[in-house]
Amino acid sequence: MALTNRILMGCASLSMAFGIGFVMQNGAEVPGQSKPQQLAAAAPSDRIELSGITLTVGTSGTATDLPVNDTSADAAPVLPAEEPVTRVAAAPQLEAPSDLDLPVLEVPSRQCDPSLSLTAQTGAMVLMTVDAPCLPDQRVTFHHNGLMFTHMTDTDGQLAVSAPALATSAVFIADFGNGDGAVGHVMVPDLDQYERAAAQWRGDLGIELHAREFGADYGQAGHVWNGALQATQAGAALTLLGDRALPESYRAEVYTVPAAVSEGGDIQLSIEAEVTAMNCNQDIQAEAIQWHPSGSLDVRELSLSVPGCDTVGDFLLLKNLLQDLKIAAK
């Protein structure tokens, strides 16, 4: 009996489900509810009716030429026919005329760049070695803390010169006068053990640096100048810089003496100019440079009017350009 009731209830539920679906599908009234109004009437602004639409994107044919796709499940989609493709021939390769003489650009080799090597030597001296293989027989002017002197490379572009340092951290510049040059740096740790005085000029001006040690008179032992380089009594040295054979070369004379010697004393320093046929009746310029162990460097410029050529052979004493030295005893 219970099973029969369950079967009857199941059939009744199934009948009700079919009935409700029929009513909703066909818009029949549901008891207790009013019939819904048409959507267009309820919300007239929610839907816009379009007309007069013209196809603007497609093939060159009219709208009636377009294939109609079958939307049935078994129909395969129909695609528009492909436009014909026009193939463009490859551009011909151009060849340079065989008789065209093109210029060849030469890139300068880095091996032609000049170099400057510096080596510290005893006596607060610096050995300068120039390597300029592409600048043979070339003038080169060295610059160092105001000091200037000119030399010339050999036929292989080589040059070696020793020069007194005027700075513990010494920088030397080699200038070839044509845009080429080189720079070097070296430490000179023993410079503070020496006193230095220099005179420098350009060209043949007849200028000389004189040092008279411990009261020596001209021509005596202890009178050091370019005519008596080894006459020192204080262990000093006179270095001549600049090639005298080169016209208008920068030249210098540097006197170096230890700051302390076994027997101390005074050293008188002077710069003198001999009146010659090359400088008579002319204005000349020179500089005096003095280095002290304290680290100070004094530079003074000189401008002098040389007397007439009837005084050739006379000497002019240029005073107060250099300070006399007081050398301490060890």
27 against 220, higher pLDDT: 220
Sketch the domain layout of the chain as residue ranges. 110-187, 193-329
pLDDT at position 93 = 57
pLDDT 10s digits, 130-159: 999 999 999 999 999 999 999 999 999 999
At 82 the pLDDT is 54
The CATH number assigned to the domain with range 110-187 reads 2.60.40.10
- Rounded to whole angstroms, the Cα distance separating 88 from 24 reads 64
In this prediction the pTM is 0.67
* CB neighbourhood size of 136 (10 A): 13
Model confidence at 163: pLDDT above 70: yes
- Residues listed for the chain: 330
- Pairwise CA distance, residues 27 & 42, whole Å: 17
CA dist., res. 132 & res. 112, Å (int): 7
> What is the distance of C-alpha 246 from the center of its chain?
34
C-alpha dihedral sign at 142, 232, 298, 253: negative
H/E stretch holding 209 reads: strand 207-213
Cα-based angle 177, 182, 185 (whole degrees, multiple of 5): 135
Tens digits of residue pLDDT in 253-272: 999 999 999 888 999 999 99
Residue that the structure tokens 């004393």 belong to = 265
Checking if the pLDDT of 204 tops 80, the result is yes
pLDDT tens-digit series, residues 33-92: 444 444 344 444 444 444 444 444 444 444 444 444 554 445 555 555 555 555 555 555
